[in-house]
Amino acid sequence: MRNLTLSFVLASFAAGCVVDAGIDSGSDDDDWTNVSDSDADADSDADADGDADADSDADDDVFVPVAIGLEYVGLWDEANNALLDSYVQADLFNENDGQPYSLSAGVTITLATGAYFSATTDAEKEGEYCEMWGWFVSETYGEPTPIDMNVQEFDWESGVGGSGVLVDEWAAWEGGIIIYPDSVDARCYDWEDSTGASVDPVAMFNGMHYGIALGDASTYMDAAFTEWADDPDGTWDPDVDPYSYHTMYTAMNHPSDESALGYNFVGYDFTMSYYVDADPTSCIENLDEEGEVESTTCGEVLFTEEDGSFFYQQGNFNTDVGSRFAMVRGNAWWYEDFPNLDLGMMSEGFNPSSDDTEE
Protein backbone atom coordinates (compact mmCIF):
# COMPACT_ATOMS: atom_id res chain seq x y z
CA MET A 1 0.00 0.00 0.00
CA ARG A 2 1.12 3.54 -0.66
CA ASN A 3 2.48 5.25 2.42
CA LEU A 4 0.62 8.51 2.91
CA THR A 5 3.83 9.97 4.26
CA LEU A 6 4.58 10.62 0.61
CA SER A 7 1.50 12.82 0.42
CA PHE A 8 2.61 14.63 3.56
CA VAL A 9 6.05 15.22 2.06
CA LEU A 10 4.50 16.61 -1.10
CA ALA A 11 2.23 18.81 0.99
CA SER A 12 5.13 20.07 3.05
CA PHE A 13 6.98 21.07 -0.09
CA ALA A 14 3.89 22.97 -1.22
CA ALA A 15 3.66 24.68 2.14
CA GLY A 16 7.32 25.62 2.04
CA CYS A 17 8.32 23.49 5.02
CA VAL A 18 11.87 22.22 5.38
CA VAL A 19 11.92 18.53 4.56
CA ASP A 20 15.53 18.00 3.60
CA ALA A 21 17.12 16.51 6.66
CA GLY A 22 16.25 18.73 9.57
CA ILE A 23 17.67 17.65 12.89
CA ASP A 24 16.28 19.40 15.91
CA SER A 25 16.52 18.08 19.43
CA GLY A 26 13.50 20.05 20.51
CA SER A 27 11.05 19.02 17.84
CA ASP A 28 8.66 16.14 17.30
CA ASP A 29 8.82 16.51 13.55
CA ASP A 30 7.19 14.05 11.13
CA ASP A 31 10.06 14.72 8.70
CA TRP A 32 11.40 11.29 7.77
CA THR A 33 14.92 12.71 7.53
CA ASN A 34 14.72 14.21 11.01
CA VAL A 35 17.02 12.77 13.64
CA SER A 36 16.84 13.95 17.23
CA ASP A 37 18.47 13.01 20.49
CA SER A 38 15.93 10.17 20.74
CA ASP A 39 16.99 8.63 17.43
CA ALA A 40 16.08 4.95 17.31
CA ASP A 41 19.16 3.69 15.47
CA ALA A 42 21.16 1.19 17.52
CA ASP A 43 24.82 1.84 18.24
CA SER A 44 27.61 -0.61 17.50
CA ASP A 45 27.34 -2.09 20.99
CA ALA A 46 23.73 -3.05 20.27
CA ASP A 47 22.42 -0.31 22.55
CA ALA A 48 19.42 0.39 20.32
CA ASP A 49 16.97 3.07 21.33
CA GLY A 50 13.94 0.82 21.06
CA ASP A 51 10.60 2.46 21.56
CA ALA A 52 9.13 -0.50 23.40
CA ASP A 53 6.54 1.63 25.11
CA ALA A 54 5.29 3.32 21.95
CA ASP A 55 1.59 3.14 21.32
CA SER A 56 0.97 1.94 24.88
CA ASP A 57 -2.44 3.56 24.90
CA ALA A 58 -3.57 1.10 22.25
CA ASP A 59 -2.03 -2.02 23.78
CA ASP A 60 -5.40 -3.30 24.98
CA ASP A 61 -6.64 -3.50 21.38
CA VAL A 62 -5.94 -6.26 18.90
CA PHE A 63 -3.33 -5.32 16.31
CA VAL A 64 -3.89 -6.69 12.81
CA PRO A 65 -1.20 -5.48 10.41
CA VAL A 66 -1.74 -5.87 6.68
CA ALA A 67 1.53 -4.58 5.22
CA ILE A 68 5.24 -4.17 5.90
CA GLY A 69 7.61 -1.28 5.18
CA LEU A 70 11.41 -1.54 5.24
CA GLU A 71 13.87 1.35 5.55
CA TYR A 72 17.65 0.89 5.59
CA VAL A 73 20.06 3.49 7.01
CA GLY A 74 23.83 3.09 6.72
CA LEU A 75 27.07 3.98 4.94
CA TRP A 76 27.81 3.01 1.35
CA ASP A 77 31.49 2.52 0.53
CA GLU A 78 31.48 2.18 -3.24
CA ALA A 79 35.22 1.60 -3.64
CA ASN A 80 34.93 -1.55 -1.52
CA ASN A 81 31.43 -2.44 -2.77
CA ALA A 82 30.26 -2.51 0.84
CA LEU A 83 27.53 -1.41 3.19
CA LEU A 84 29.44 -0.70 6.40
CA ASP A 85 28.14 -2.13 9.66
CA SER A 86 28.44 1.14 11.60
CA TYR A 87 29.15 4.86 11.27
CA VAL A 88 30.43 7.76 13.34
CA GLN A 89 27.80 10.09 14.80
CA ALA A 90 28.72 13.56 16.08
CA ASP A 91 27.50 14.27 19.60
CA LEU A 92 25.07 16.96 18.48
CA PHE A 93 23.09 17.01 21.70
CA ASN A 94 25.92 16.59 24.21
CA GLU A 95 24.91 13.10 25.27
CA ASN A 96 28.46 11.73 25.16
CA ASP A 97 30.51 14.57 26.70
CA GLY A 98 30.82 16.12 23.28
CA GLN A 99 32.63 13.09 21.85
CA PRO A 100 31.50 11.34 18.65
CA TYR A 101 30.24 7.80 19.01
CA SER A 102 29.43 4.76 16.91
CA LEU A 103 25.98 3.81 15.64
CA SER A 104 25.02 0.61 13.87
CA ALA A 105 23.64 0.55 10.36
CA GLY A 106 20.33 -1.26 10.12
CA VAL A 107 16.76 -1.61 8.98
CA THR A 108 13.58 -0.23 10.51
CA ILE A 109 10.66 -2.60 9.98
CA THR A 110 7.20 -1.03 10.16
CA LEU A 111 4.04 -3.13 10.35
CA ALA A 112 0.84 -1.25 9.57
CA THR A 113 -2.90 -1.87 9.66
CA GLY A 114 -5.30 -0.96 6.88
CA ALA A 115 -6.42 2.10 8.85
CA TYR A 116 -2.86 3.43 8.89
CA PHE A 117 -2.98 4.13 5.17
CA SER A 118 -6.06 6.33 5.36
CA ALA A 119 -4.87 8.20 8.46
CA THR A 120 -3.97 11.85 7.93
CA THR A 121 -2.78 12.80 11.43
CA ASP A 122 -0.48 11.34 14.04
CA ALA A 123 -3.48 10.86 16.33
CA GLU A 124 -5.23 8.75 13.70
CA LYS A 125 -2.08 6.68 13.18
CA GLU A 126 -1.73 5.96 16.89
CA GLY A 127 -1.95 2.22 17.46
CA GLU A 128 -2.21 1.50 13.74
CA TYR A 129 1.46 0.66 13.28
CA CYS A 130 4.46 -0.65 15.16
CA GLU A 131 8.18 -0.67 14.54
CA MET A 132 11.19 -2.83 15.22
CA TRP A 133 14.82 -2.53 14.20
CA GLY A 134 17.46 -5.00 13.06
CA TRP A 135 20.92 -5.43 11.66
CA PHE A 136 21.28 -6.16 7.92
CA VAL A 137 23.90 -8.93 7.83
CA SER A 138 25.37 -11.70 5.73
CA GLU A 139 24.94 -15.38 6.54
CA THR A 140 28.13 -15.16 8.63
CA TYR A 141 26.77 -12.10 10.48
CA GLY A 142 29.15 -9.74 8.74
CA GLU A 143 28.35 -6.97 6.29
CA PRO A 144 25.72 -7.90 3.68
CA THR A 145 26.90 -9.66 0.53
CA PRO A 146 27.26 -7.78 -2.79
CA ILE A 147 25.19 -9.35 -5.56
CA ASP A 148 23.97 -8.76 -9.09
CA MET A 149 20.31 -8.30 -8.19
CA ASN A 150 17.25 -8.61 -10.39
CA VAL A 151 15.97 -5.02 -10.08
CA GLN A 152 12.73 -3.83 -11.65
CA GLU A 153 10.35 -0.93 -11.41
CA PHE A 154 7.24 -1.73 -9.41
CA ASP A 155 3.82 -1.72 -11.05
CA TRP A 156 2.41 1.20 -9.11
CA GLU A 157 -0.89 1.03 -10.97
CA SER A 158 -1.81 -2.54 -10.04
CA GLY A 159 0.12 -2.61 -6.77
CA VAL A 160 1.49 -6.07 -7.57
CA GLY A 161 4.81 -7.13 -9.06
CA GLY A 162 6.99 -5.49 -11.65
CA SER A 163 6.11 -3.25 -14.54
CA GLY A 164 8.58 -4.98 -16.85
CA VAL A 165 11.06 -2.09 -16.71
CA LEU A 166 14.49 -3.42 -15.73
CA VAL A 167 16.86 -1.25 -13.72
CA ASP A 168 20.64 -0.94 -14.03
CA GLU A 169 21.50 -0.42 -10.37
CA TRP A 170 24.65 1.19 -8.99
CA ALA A 171 25.18 -1.61 -6.49
CA ALA A 172 23.17 -4.24 -4.59
CA TRP A 173 23.46 -6.44 -1.51
CA GLU A 174 21.73 -9.47 -0.04
CA GLY A 175 21.46 -10.90 3.45
CA GLY A 176 19.00 -11.06 6.28
CA ILE A 177 17.64 -8.97 9.13
CA ILE A 178 18.54 -9.89 12.71
CA ILE A 179 16.06 -8.11 14.96
CA TYR A 180 17.24 -6.42 18.15
CA PRO A 181 14.60 -7.61 20.65
CA ASP A 182 14.63 -4.46 22.78
CA SER A 183 13.74 -2.38 19.72
CA VAL A 184 10.32 -3.99 19.23
CA ASP A 185 7.38 -1.70 20.02
CA ALA A 186 5.00 -3.14 22.59
CA ARG A 187 2.20 -2.67 20.07
CA CYS A 188 3.75 -5.33 17.84
CA TYR A 189 3.00 -7.95 20.49
CA ASP A 190 -0.75 -7.25 20.23
CA TRP A 191 -0.74 -8.93 16.81
CA GLU A 192 -3.39 -11.61 16.34
CA ASP A 193 -4.12 -13.61 13.23
CA SER A 194 -7.54 -14.33 11.73
CA THR A 195 -8.10 -17.19 14.19
CA GLY A 196 -7.41 -14.96 17.19
CA ALA A 197 -4.05 -16.60 17.88
CA SER A 198 -1.18 -14.38 18.98
CA VAL A 199 1.61 -13.81 16.48
CA ASP A 200 5.17 -13.30 17.68
CA PRO A 201 6.59 -10.51 15.48
CA VAL A 202 10.20 -11.40 16.25
CA ALA A 203 9.69 -15.05 15.39
CA MET A 204 7.90 -13.98 12.22
CA PHE A 205 10.53 -11.60 10.83
CA ASN A 206 13.83 -12.41 12.55
CA GLY A 207 16.11 -13.82 9.85
CA MET A 208 13.98 -12.32 7.08
CA HIS A 209 15.66 -12.58 3.65
CA TYR A 210 16.32 -8.97 2.62
CA GLY A 211 18.24 -6.98 0.05
CA ILE A 212 18.64 -3.48 -1.28
CA ALA A 213 19.93 -1.93 -4.48
CA LEU A 214 20.88 1.70 -4.99
CA GLY A 215 20.21 3.50 -8.23
CA ASP A 216 18.87 6.51 -10.02
CA ALA A 217 15.35 7.66 -9.29
CA SER A 218 12.81 5.28 -10.76
CA THR A 219 10.22 6.52 -13.25
CA TYR A 220 7.61 6.82 -10.51
CA MET A 221 9.85 8.69 -8.10
CA ASP A 222 11.32 10.90 -10.81
CA ALA A 223 7.79 12.01 -11.70
CA ALA A 224 7.19 12.90 -8.05
CA PHE A 225 10.45 14.84 -7.90
CA THR A 226 9.44 16.71 -11.04
CA GLU A 227 6.14 17.58 -9.40
CA TRP A 228 8.00 18.93 -6.39
CA ALA A 229 10.31 20.96 -8.62
CA ASP A 230 7.37 22.44 -10.56
CA ASP A 231 5.55 23.56 -7.42
CA PRO A 232 5.99 27.35 -7.22
CA ASP A 233 5.37 27.26 -3.47
CA GLY A 234 7.70 24.35 -2.78
CA THR A 235 11.22 24.27 -1.38
CA TRP A 236 12.82 21.98 -3.95
CA ASP A 237 16.31 23.28 -4.76
CA PRO A 238 17.09 22.44 -8.40
CA ASP A 239 20.81 22.92 -7.79
CA VAL A 240 21.04 20.37 -4.98
CA ASP A 241 17.98 18.16 -4.45
CA PRO A 242 18.01 16.26 -7.79
CA TYR A 243 21.43 14.90 -6.82
CA SER A 244 20.56 13.89 -3.26
CA TYR A 245 17.22 12.11 -3.71
CA HIS A 246 17.31 8.76 -5.49
CA THR A 247 15.82 5.27 -5.19
CA MET A 248 16.62 2.43 -2.80
CA TYR A 249 15.21 -0.73 -4.39
CA THR A 250 13.93 -3.21 -1.79
CA ALA A 251 14.00 -6.99 -2.18
CA MET A 252 12.12 -9.54 -0.09
CA ASN A 253 10.74 -12.98 -0.89
CA HIS A 254 7.60 -13.03 -3.02
CA PRO A 255 5.83 -16.32 -3.78
CA SER A 256 6.35 -17.51 -7.33
CA ASP A 257 5.07 -20.61 -9.10
CA GLU A 258 7.63 -19.97 -11.84
CA SER A 259 10.62 -20.37 -9.53
CA ALA A 260 11.94 -23.75 -8.42
CA LEU A 261 12.56 -22.15 -5.03
CA GLY A 262 8.90 -21.20 -4.70
CA TYR A 263 9.76 -17.51 -4.43
CA ASN A 264 11.52 -14.74 -6.30
CA PHE A 265 13.84 -12.10 -4.89
CA VAL A 266 13.40 -8.92 -6.93
CA GLY A 267 14.32 -5.39 -5.94
CA TYR A 268 11.42 -2.95 -6.43
CA ASP A 269 11.33 0.83 -6.08
CA PHE A 270 9.49 0.76 -2.76
CA THR A 271 11.85 3.17 -1.04
CA MET A 272 13.23 6.64 -1.63
CA SER A 273 16.78 7.32 -0.44
CA TYR A 274 18.48 10.47 0.77
CA TYR A 275 22.20 10.75 -0.02
CA VAL A 276 24.19 12.35 2.81
CA ASP A 277 27.85 13.38 2.87
CA ALA A 278 30.16 11.38 5.12
CA ASP A 279 33.87 11.64 5.89
CA PRO A 280 35.64 8.26 5.51
CA THR A 281 38.79 9.53 7.26
CA SER A 282 37.00 10.34 10.54
CA CYS A 283 37.40 7.35 12.87
CA ILE A 284 36.81 6.53 16.52
CA GLU A 285 37.91 3.69 18.76
CA ASN A 286 35.25 1.64 20.50
CA LEU A 287 36.24 0.48 23.98
CA ASP A 288 35.17 -2.66 25.82
CA GLU A 289 34.13 -2.80 29.47
CA GLU A 290 37.79 -2.89 30.55
CA GLY A 291 38.56 0.25 28.57
CA GLU A 292 40.52 -1.63 25.93
CA VAL A 293 40.11 -0.89 22.23
CA GLU A 294 37.64 -3.42 20.89
CA SER A 295 37.08 -2.09 17.37
CA THR A 296 37.34 1.00 15.20
CA THR A 297 34.52 2.73 13.36
CA CYS A 298 35.25 5.00 10.40
CA GLY A 299 32.92 7.23 8.41
CA GLU A 300 31.40 10.27 10.08
CA VAL A 301 28.04 11.52 8.87
CA LEU A 302 28.25 15.25 8.20
CA PHE A 303 25.85 17.99 9.27
CA THR A 304 25.31 21.69 8.83
CA GLU A 305 23.87 23.99 11.47
CA GLU A 306 21.37 26.78 10.93
CA ASP A 307 19.59 28.82 13.60
CA GLY A 308 20.35 26.24 16.27
CA SER A 309 19.09 23.27 14.22
CA PHE A 310 21.21 20.61 12.58
CA PHE A 311 20.72 19.38 9.03
CA TYR A 312 22.24 16.49 7.15
CA GLN A 313 24.81 17.77 4.69
CA GLN A 314 23.35 16.87 1.31
CA GLY A 315 25.65 14.90 -0.93
CA ASN A 316 25.83 14.68 -4.71
CA PHE A 317 25.72 11.12 -6.02
CA ASN A 318 27.12 12.24 -9.38
CA THR A 319 30.50 13.14 -7.84
CA ASP A 320 33.34 10.69 -7.16
CA VAL A 321 31.59 7.92 -9.09
CA GLY A 322 33.52 4.73 -8.44
CA SER A 323 34.59 5.83 -4.98
CA ARG A 324 31.40 7.31 -3.54
CA PHE A 325 31.16 7.28 0.24
CA ALA A 326 27.92 8.45 1.79
CA MET A 327 25.10 7.67 4.15
CA VAL A 328 21.96 6.43 2.42
CA ARG A 329 18.72 6.92 4.36
CA GLY A 330 15.68 5.01 3.18
CA ASN A 331 12.09 6.25 3.34
CA ALA A 332 9.44 3.70 2.35
CA TRP A 333 6.89 4.92 -0.21
CA TRP A 334 5.30 1.48 -0.50
CA TYR A 335 4.45 -0.98 2.28
CA GLU A 336 4.11 -4.40 0.73
CA ASP A 337 0.69 -5.98 1.28
CA PHE A 338 0.65 -9.27 3.16
CA PRO A 339 -1.60 -10.89 0.49
CA ASN A 340 1.33 -10.43 -1.92
CA LEU A 341 3.61 -12.33 0.47
CA ASP A 342 3.83 -15.73 2.11
CA LEU A 343 4.82 -14.87 5.66
CA GLY A 344 5.87 -18.45 6.23
CA MET A 345 8.69 -18.20 3.72
CA MET A 346 10.14 -14.76 4.46
CA SER A 347 13.40 -16.25 5.74
CA GLU A 348 13.90 -18.69 2.84
CA GLY A 349 17.19 -18.02 1.09
CA PHE A 350 18.89 -16.65 4.21
CA ASN A 351 20.75 -19.42 6.00
CA PRO A 352 22.88 -17.95 8.77
CA SER A 353 25.72 -19.91 10.31
CA SER A 354 25.03 -21.82 13.48
CA ASP A 355 27.44 -19.66 15.45
CA ASP A 356 25.82 -17.33 17.95
CA THR A 357 25.47 -13.69 16.96
CA GLU A 358 27.41 -11.13 18.92
CA GLU A 359 25.70 -9.87 22.03
pLDDT at 177 over 80: yes
Whole-number pLDDT of residue 2: 63
Number of other residues whose CB lies within 10 A of the CB of residue 277: 19
Range 211-237 average pLDDT: 96
Given a cut of 60, is residue 282 above it in pLDDT? yes
Q: Where are the alpha helices (DSSP H) in the chain?
A: 5-15, 122-125, 201-205, 219-230
Query: pLDDT band at residue 60, thresholds of 50, 70 and 90?
Result: low
Report how far apart the first and last C-alpha atoms of the chain are (Å, whole number).
35
Give the rounded percent of residues in the chain with a pLDDT score beyond 70.
82
Average per-residue pLDDT in the chain?
86
- pLDDT of 43 higher than 80: no
* Closest to 9 in 3D by CA, of 359, 331, 299: 331
* Gap between the Cα atoms of 67 and 333, Å rounded: 12
Q: Which residues contact 74 (CB under 8 A, 6 or more apart)?
A: 83, 84, 85, 87, 105, 106, 136, 327, 328
Question: For residue 355, what pLDDT is reported?
Answer: 59
Confidence of residue 1 (pLDDT cuts 50, 70, 90): confident
Decide if pLDDT at 57 tops 80: no
Contacts of 293 (CB under 8 A, 6+ apart): 285, 286, 287
In the predicted model, is pLDDT for residue 87 greater than 50? yes
pLDDT digits (tens, 9 = 90+) for 142-175: 999 999 999 999 999 999 999 999 999 999 999 9
User: For residues 327 and 88, is the Cβ–Cβ distance under 8 A?
Assistant: no
Lowest pLDDT segment from 4-18, 144-158, 162-176, 182-196 = 4-18
Read off the pLDDT of each residue in 33-39 and give the average, rounded to a whole number: 46
Tell me the HSE value of 12 on the side-chain side, using a 13 A CA sphere: 15
The predicted structure's pLDDT at residue 308: 87
Q: How far apart are CA 210 and CA 206, in angstroms?
A: 11
Q: Tell me, what's the pLDDT at 148? A: 97
